[in-house]
Structure 1
Amino acid sequence: MLRSRLTAALAAAGTVLGGAVAIGFAVSGPATAASTLPAHVSAPYFETYNGDSLAQLAQQSGNKYLTLAFLQTASKGSCTPYWDGDSSMPVDTSQYGSDIDTIRAGGGDVIPSFGGYTADNTGTEIADSCTDVGKIAAAYEKVITTYDVTRLDLDIEDNSLTNSAGIDRRNAAIKQVEDWAASNGRTVQFAYTLPTTTSGLASSGLNVLRSAVSHGARIDVVNIMTFDYYDGANHEMATDTKTATTGLQSQLAGLYPNKSAAELWHMIGVIEMPGIDDYGAAETFTTADAPVVEQWAQDKGLAALSFWALQRDNGSCPGTGGSDSCSGIQQDTWYFSHTFAAFNGGGTGPTTPPTTPPTTPPTTPPTGSGLVNGDFETGSLSPWTCTGGTGSIVSSPTHGGSGALELAPTASDNATCTQSVTLHANTTYTLTAYVQGDYAFLGTTGAATDASTWTNAGGYTKLSATFTTGGSGTVQVFVHGWYGQGAVDVDDVGVS
């Protein structure tokens, strides 16, 4: 994220004076346990470099969720991140731990952010600075475990967009962390924050995502900075947000062809800069733009809506562009925070499986089932459909008979197979299946009351999920594995 040029220059000077830092991390206990972020989250950026109280500003502004900017190394070549690259601000609960506890006590949470303009410009972004992928992954894991967070934001711009070695190291490290999280039953999401044009990512930003795909790194959210276009044009910022985001959705469709349109929209986040941005008055995000963008983000089902930065959300400096401490327009204090807060809502569900499978309440169901080919004895998938060709019929291993369904998840596809089933309306049923493998999921969508369950089993294990149909009686039954994990075998699926 761009800070003012003066602030960036001063920070860069401080980085040089900081000297070399030894690789390694202090040991500290985690902050209060995090909850899963909502499916649609507004988390404005908090500037960690200006000495403000995180908890106090969260309370004053009414923000439940905040993104903490930034983490970077103290000097080029180091593998140890610090808050704002300041070696006196280590990754430790002594820094922001109590503030995060206070925010969580109020039902909120935080998203630590690596990188930013200064780091990306001075070679102190962790993957540009450190040439050891394992140590980059360890740095990410240290932040995750110290603050017990469920999402990291990686702000990549300026020189970091063209450092191909750093791009590849970063994505390789993301993959390592995701594997570590999956093996430890921990929820971890990664978000990239990238500059944009008014029609979508430039080729440099798109290359960051292409590298992620090639390394098998799952990217959950792609935030675009819908400001600082630096194209010499006058901008209507709400309109340009829509065109930039629509362009990104189309670009993501090319990278993730197995995702639905709704899933692609839900990979996208928008970051605005309230008031007059670094470029000047030609790029002014007004108080009239904010509710338009917020409603549009809701309508499209975006994952995130944010702004740079919380400390700018006031009108104390009319006419000033690119300030870190005010918006440069006439506005009520916290206007943008309050407007974007309406975006918060929903639940993401786990990005990595939980450690304990949910239990299914006992029930005495009615009989009857519209499910077909649940034993996979026909030798064909039909009428099941599977994403991206990830499902196939196998003769071994089976739970019984001569056929079973085998799911083959990839880094970008959890191998979902579904069947539309029509049952009695407004009736409670139990869905069962025998499964084996890493992270096998079973459930329904489209019911009045949906249900899902999962297990991690070395041999065939019975799963049960109770659901209630709606007025149409039609539901989608699904089975799937998990991203980048092993094969899952499914047999004898039934509804009773």
Structure 2
Amino acid sequence: MERARREWGLSHFTLGFVISDGGCEGALDGTVPIVESEWPQAVEGVRAAGGDVIVSLGGGAGTELARACTSVDELADAYGRVVEAFGLRRIDLDIEGPTLEDDTANERRTQALARLQHDYTAAGRELAVQYTLPTHPYGLPDSALRLLRDARDRGLDIDLVNIMTMDYGPDFDMGETAIRAAKGLHEQLAEIWPGKSDEQLWAMEGNTPMVGVNDAVNEVFSTADATELAAFADETGIRILSYWSLGRDRPCPELGALAEECSGTAQGAGDFARILNRTSPPAPGTLRATPPAPERPSEWHADRPQAPAALPPALAVRRRLDRHRRPTASDTGG
């Protein structure tokens, strides 16, 4: 993070994933107790330099806490311990795969987050909640829409919906498809929150591609795709751009290979960061924080697992686009 901040100008990061340690307690990748890790101190270092880090719970591996904790109270307490350990004002829930299909866990999570959000508000603090969800090329799947409607109906204030524009399966133009999915999400959010304006709905969106070669190796998100997506985000007001992941934003020895430590596409080190981080973020105050700026900031996504939960946590970069908010292969992306 420190090198990316100094050399690439990044200031806002997402750390993932916090999942169950085997019981109702969050741990980094399910193995490292939060209080025993060096991450809280590293997060404070980023904040001291004017940036921020948010923590993502869930992801594609391991057990998300809503499936491990058996009661709403236990779950709210478990989430609260993560919030306190990192001093968060924003929390990200990366819900995908079997977890997204678990309606019981989804209801428990919604109730726990609503309770936690209410308690923080009553104490004069803020806790923004955002979801990171898989997407089809045309928008969210039905299971994700059920999750969002249930959250709305139970009084959970959702600040942002971030879609993972990756891993669809078929051959697609990845820049075009990220934009198409964003447009589809916009229409879906308008149906769920009909009282919001177009501007408010775009400001509820995040977009997170996997840079370079995706897990579906026929799909490649290039620097040209990143430029196209960044321009669309500027035009519409999409609030957060992220990418998976920080450690992959560098060239591989050869093109076309899927790797954890490089992108497999033609690029220089940090090119995706520079393209997606063209504007500076707003003032800090979220899980993925916000540096000061009148425009929308940029964020990269390090919180999407391409490896087993036993590996060290990953980082994603993001670009925040506003300053007014506190802060497997199939045809479904993510």
TM-score range, shorter chain: 0.7 to 0.9
Name the structure 1 match of 2:13.
66
Deviation at 1:184, TM superposition (A): 1.2
**Aligned to 1:102, what secondary structure does the other structure show?**
helix
The TM-score with structure 2 as length reference comes to: 0.82
Q: Which moved more, 1:95-104 or 1:339-348?
A: 339-348
Structure 2 residue 275 is matched with structure 1 residue 339: yes
User: Aligned equivalents of 1:253 and 1:271: distance in 2?
Assistant: 20
1:237-292 deviation per Cα after TM superposition (whole angstroms, max 9, x unaligned):
111111111110110111111111110110000001111100112x1111111111
2:55 maps to which residue?
A: 112
Partner of 1:81: 26
1:315 aligns with one of 251, 258, 273: 251
- Secondary structure class of the residue paired with 1:207: helix
**Contact between 1:127 and 1:136, CA under 8 Å: does it hold in 2?**
yes
Distance 1:349 1:308 in 2: 22
How far apart, CA to CA, are the structure 2 residues paired with 1:287 and 1:168? 39
Distance, in Å, in 1 between the alignment partners of 2:192 and 2:173 is 29
Residue 268 of structure 2 aligns to a residue in which SS?
A: coil
Task: Return the offset for 1:185.
Answer: 1.1
SS of structure 2 residue aligned to 1:289: helix
Q: Quick check: 1:258 aligned with 2:195?
A: yes
Q: Percent of pairs identical after alignment?
A: 35
How far 1:196 sits from its partner (Å)? Answer: 0.5
Match of 1:236 among 157, 165, 173: 173
DSSP 3-state at the match of 2:278:
helix
Structure (1 or 2) with the greater strand fraction: 1
Task: Quote how far apart the aligned CAs of 1:161 are.
Answer: 1.2
**Aligned pair 1:187/2:126, yes or no?**
yes
Task: Decide which structure has greater helix share.
Answer: 2
Call closer, same or farther: CA 1:60–1:201 in 2, change over 3 Å: same
Aligned to 1:167: 106
Q: Which amino acid aligns with 1:212?
A: A
Q: Which runs of 5+ in 2 are unaligned?
A: 288-334
Q: Is the 8 A contact 1:115 1:126 kept in 2?
A: yes
Over 3 Å counting, the alpha-carbon distance change for 1:321 and 1:155 in structure 2 is farther
TM-score (norm 1): 0.56
Determine the C-alpha separation between the residues in 2 that align with 1:83 and 1:306. Answer: 20
Shift of residue 344, structure 1, vs aligned partner: 3.5
Aligned counterparts of 1:275 and 1:350: Cα–Cα separation in 2: 28
Q: Where does residue 292 of structure 2 map in the other structure?
A: none
Counterparts in 2 of 1:102 and 1:341: CA distance versus 1, 3 Å = same
Change (3 A) 1:328 1:168: same
Q: Return the alpha-carbon distance in structure 2 between the equivalents of residues 126 and 60 of structure 1.
A: 36
Paired positions, count = 287
Q: Equivalents in 1 of 2:126, 2:254: separation in Å?
A: 43
2:206 and 2:82 mapped to 1: Cα distance? 22
Distance 1:126 1:212 in 2: 17
SS state at 1:280 partner: coil
2:229 to 288, 293, 318: 293
Q: Which digits, 9 at most, give the CA deviation of each residue in 1:18-49, with x for residues without a partner?
A: xxxxxxxxxxxxxxxxxxxxxxxxxxxxxxxx
Q: Point out the structure with max Rg over C-alpha.
A: 1
Closer, same or farther: CA 93–63 of 1 in aligned 2, 3 Å:
farther
Specify whether residues 300 and 111 from structure 1 end up closer, same or farther in structure 2 by C-alpha distance, changes over 3 A only.
same
> Cα distance, 1:60 vs. partner?
4.1
**Counterpart in 2 of 1:245?**
182
Distance in 2 between residues matched to 1:350 and 1:287, nearest whole Å: 28
2-side partners of 1:203 and 1:137: how far apart? 26
Secondary structure of residue in 1 paired with 2:167:
coil
Letter in 1 for 2:276: F
Q: Which letter does structure 2 place at the counterpart of 1:286?
A: S
SS at 2:33 equivalent: coil
In structure 2, the residue corresponding to 1:192 is in which secondary structure? strand
- The residue aligned with 1:325 is 261
CA contact under 8 A between 1:193 and 1:224: conserved in structure 2? yes
- 2:293 maps to none
Alignment partner of 1:214 out of 147, 153, 158: 153
2:26–2:79 Cα contact (<8 Å) kept: no
Amino acid in the other structure paired with 2:222: T
Aligned to 1:478: none
Change in 2 beyond 3 A, CA 1:347/1:108: closer
Q: Which of these residues, 187, 196, 204, is aligned with residue 143 of structure 2?
A: 204
Q: Distance in 2 between matches of 1:55 and 1:83?
A: 20
Q: What SS does the corresponding residue of 2:207 show, helix, strand or coil?
A: strand
* Other-structure match for 2:312: none
Amino acid at match of 1:291: T
Listed one character per residue, the Cα deviations across residues 392-439 of structure 1 (whole Å, up to 9, x for unaligned) are: xxxxxxxxxxxxxxxxxxxxxxxxxxxxxxxxxxxxxxxxxxxxxxxx
Structure 2 residue aligned with 1:147, among 86, 89, 98? 86
Q: Mark the CA change 1:317 to 1:130 in structure 2 (over 3 Å): closer, same or farther.
A: farther
Higher RCO, 1 vs 2 (CA within 8 Å, ≥6 residues apart)? 2
Residues 94, 349 of structure 1: alpha-carbon distance in 2 compared, 3 angstrom cutoff = closer
2:41 is the alignment partner of 1:98: yes
User: What per-residue deviation string (whole Å, max 9, x for no partner) do you get for residues 65-98 of structure 1?
Assistant: 10001000122xx110100101xx2122743122
After superposition, the Cα gap between the structure-2 partners of 1:90 and 1:60, relative to the gap in structure 1 and judged at 3 Å, is: farther
Q: For residues 186-218 of structure 1, what are the alpha-carbon distances to aligned partners after superposition, in whole Å with 9 as ceiling and x for unaligned?
A: 121111011101110011111111121121111
Question: CA distance change for structure 1 residues 94 and 226 in 2, over 3 Å: closer, same or farther?
Answer: closer
Contact 2:96 2:134 in 1 (8 A): yes
Counterpart residue number, 1:456? none
Q: Secondary structure at the match of 1:342?
A: coil
Aligned Cα root-mean-square deviation (Å) = 1.9
Counterpart of 1:278? Answer: 215
> Which whole-Å CA distance do the structure 1 matches of 2:279 and 2:146 have between them?
30
Asked if the contact 1:199/1:244 (under 8 Å) is kept, the reply is yes
